[in-house]
Structure 1
Amino acid sequence: MKIINKTLLKIFFFLIIFSCSKENSELNDTVDNTIETLYFPDLDSNVWKKKSITELNWNTTQLQPLLDFLDTKNTKSFIVLYKGKIVVEEYFNNHSNTSIWYWASAGKTLTSTLSGIAQDENLININAKVSDYLGLGWTSIPLEKENLITCKNLLSMNSGLDDSLGEDVSPSNLKYITDAEQRWAYHNVYVKMQDVIANASQQTFTNYFNSKLKDKIGMSGIWQNLDDLNVFWSNTRSMARFGLLISANGKWENSQIVSENFITEATNTSQNINNSYGYLWWLNGKESYHLPQSQITFTGELIPNAPEDMFCALGKNDQKIYIVPAKDLVIIRMGEAANTSNFALSSFDNDLWEKINALID
């Protein structure tokens, strides 16, 4: 009996030790495999957490060549976020973290996002006719052709309207070339979506923007008229905040600012002509693309050196928001044209990504 009791005691103690060892092992596994959560800076503070290049095991020797390259390319500011934290933040040519600069067409994505918010609130339906919100005669084309144009066509740049008549989007300057969805053309008529949102929300576009987006993610900045267009100006961190929101699928901490479904639609191919265009977002990794003021189909990726899953906001003279979901990166560049004046894509994009890759790979 004593032998049996001793045997049972040994088994009992063995089970306790094994159990504790297993629990400790599981605890260690949990600690070792902890996934770093996405960080969001406070709304009313300039404090923004940082993460070092060393912590990320990036190539520290390639940071200065990247910064030198940016400096020689008329850059004013450059930010790299990893999972929301600042890894690189540099200012050039007398620009500072409080200086404001224009987004140009990179700000188209603000209008896209506001369209998603308005749809989430059942104020608009992007598949509805533009004339449902602006009334008949918002163009000078025949009404049966005008009624073919939906809000989605404005967001996708396939309205069929003549893109060769300049910046003016008054009815007399909006003329017919072909039916909606038959032609992709980079056209300022997208700004009519701001009127759609204003009419549907019964307030100014700026007020709706401020209350539904800008204030909710702690952005600063103002809309100003530039060459007959409503252009957004802000500091660089405000552009980074917006990029962070989109990279988080429309969520800011625990608040869903714009639905994930809309962000998914907006950042995927929106029509069957320009594979590299969503709802005012440019898309990498596609087999072909079109460029502003051209009807040529270019074969290959938009930015070959950039990750395939990258999508971006591209503004005149190289205003950039790059978002790379697979690498948890948001990258911002503001400044003058790096080389020559351009509307969106330029050779600078591919050259810059060569330098970025040397740093992060």
Structure 2
Amino acid sequence: MKRIVPFLLVVLVLMTVYISWVIYPKLDLISGFSAKSVASGHFIDNRPLELIEAQDNDIKLIDWATNTIEEAGKFATSSVYGLKERKAIYREGLGATLINDDFDETQPYLVPKRTESQKGLFPYGNTKPQDSLFSNVDYGNLNRAVANAFDASNEKVKRSRAVLVVYKDRIIAEKYAPGFNEKSKILGWSMTKSITGAMYGVLAQQGKYDIYKPAPIMQWQNDKRKNISTHNLLQMNSGLEWVEDYATICDATRMLFQAEDMGKVQLEKPLAHLPNTHWNYSSGTTNLLSKILRSQFNSHQEYLDFWYTNLIDKIGMHSMVIETDMVGNYVGSSYGWATARDWAKFGLLYLHQGNWNGEQILSSEWVIYTKTPTATSNGRYGAQFWLNAGGYFPDVPRDMYYCSGYQGQMVAVIPSKDMVIVRMGLKGEEGFDFNNFLKSIIATVQK
């Protein structure tokens, strides 16, 4: 017995040290992720707390959080065993924002002006036309390929929520998991980066911005960062220091769950490499791009309106909500919500070389630029879009380029097949076979 007591004391000390140094620092991020997830899922997509906790927050450590929703005040709070309580507030038009103790909830705020410009049949509206039968489509195998992307009852393996296949502007397959439908707004995570990139394409089309000039950032003008161009930022090869690893406390997690001004986090980082010599994926870079966009307008209202008036609402993505950080800038790296059909419309804009129902929103040159491989990315990345130019998906056409988000969100644009394929879910490449998924769908259409 005397030998056991010292042993137990040592174990207790080691456990205390582990909790203090490893677990406790993560609690703020755990409760922050959970509060933001609950507020967004509930107030944007009307999901009940039980569904959010069972699905969206069914992530290691995140499931430790205890969550509450305040309907009248439109906010959610989360804590971990009563520690590190965090709060996320919902504001119509701006989505949910994770706030800190210094945030003044009584301050007035601006919201983007929205217009519903397009009604009617998809893709220029939201009504699905009666099934268009193409003689070159094997519908039996297509429906089986789509169904194969979903789990059987009570399984949590593939975890798809929505799959949509568009061929020649027609929806030829569409399926949703239980609890979801064509009106469900689903978080695109990093697919939002592609929206942010497109906003620069809109400015370029309007002749208002030159991406090849040095980025307009005053704080960089007295050091080597002054040579970083917006082009470098769009291609993720600015050379700025950044760590993006969601399994740890890192630059990305601190930015998303602690920063007031998310664009400022990357702005303040030093150079780790010379520009255009090293590709490094960075959500901070995209939020910096959002912050730079803000500087192009005379007022915050103009900035807020620009995204919707010049792109999102113009192509009928009326379900989309891009959420803001505490200073009111769009979290262009991660927080775009939309229905599967509206995400597909974004893909179709690129498939049609930036033309939407006769209006050139993006130039065809911008679309080519977007899918041109960044020299330092081994054919994996263009300008805020992922590429298959290097054959990352070996059985999928090399001309495919796509929006990609955490947990396997995808809008795949395949010009050679005249197709856009959308997949929304809760499982990424670690558990979902995207190569076979895409291959099996593409194979059902013979051109």
Which residue does the alignment assign to 1:32? Answer: none
* Secondary structure of the corresponding residue to residue 323 of structure 2: strand
3-state SS in 2 of match to 1:113: helix
Count of matched residue positions in the alignment of Structure 1 and Structure 2: 296
In the TM superposition, 1:211-360 aligns within 5 A as: 211-220=309-318, 221-225=320-324, 229-230=331-332, 231-286=335-390, 301-338=391-428, 340=430, 348-360=433-445
Structure-2 residue corresponding to 1:29 = none
- 2:129 corresponds to 1:49: yes
1:151-166 aligned at under 5 Å gives the runs 151-164=230-243, 165-166=250-251
Amino acid in structure 1 at the alignment position of 2:279: W
Which digits, 9 at most, give the CA deviation of each residue in 1:283-313, with x for residues without a partner?
Answer: 1132xxxxxxxxxxxxxx1111111211111
Distance 1:74 1:261 in 2: 37
1:81–1:308: structure 2 CA closer, same or farther, 3 Å change rule?
A: same
2:74 corresponds in structure 1 to none
Higher RCO structure, 1 or 2 (CA under 8 Å, sep 6+): 1
Structure 2 residue 270 is matched with structure 1 residue 187? no
Alignment of 1:86-165 (within 5 A): 86-130=171-215, 132=216, 134-137=217-220, 143-164=222-243, 165=250
SS at match of 1:66: helix
Against the structure 1 CA distance between its residues 157 and 49, is the aligned structure 2 distance closer, same or farther, given a 3 Å change threshold? Answer: same
Deviation for aligned residue 1:97: 0.9
Residue matched to 1:210: 308
SS in 1 for 2:398: coil
The normalised TM-score by structure 1 is 0.75
CA contact (8 A) 1:75 1:338 kept: no
The C-alpha deviation readout for 1:229-284, integer Å capped at 9, x for no partner, is 44110111110111111100000111001111111111111334432211011111
Query: Could you report, residue by residue, the CA deviation over 1:6-56 in whole angstroms, capped at 9, with x for unpaired residues?
Result: xxxxxxxxxxxxxxxxxxxxxxxxxxxxxxxxx98365x43233554x524
Partner of residue 115, structure 2: none
- Whether the 8 Å CA contact 1:40–1:252 is kept in 2: the answer is no
Q: Structure 2 stretches of 5 or more lacking a match?
A: 1-119, 152-157, 244-249, 256-262
3-state SS of paired residue (1:249): coil
Q: Which residue of 2 aligns with 1:170?
A: 264
Distance 1:338 1:147, change over 3 A: closer
CA distance in 1 between counterparts of 2:296 and 2:410 reads 30
1:249/1:357 Cα in 2 relative to 1: closer, same or farther (>3 Å)? closer
For residues 51 and 95 of structure 1, the distance between their equivalents in structure 2, rounded to whole angstroms, comes to 21
Q: How far does the alpha carbon of each residue in 1:103-132 deviate from its partner, in whole angstroms, 9 at most, with x for none?
A: 1111211111110111222322101111x2
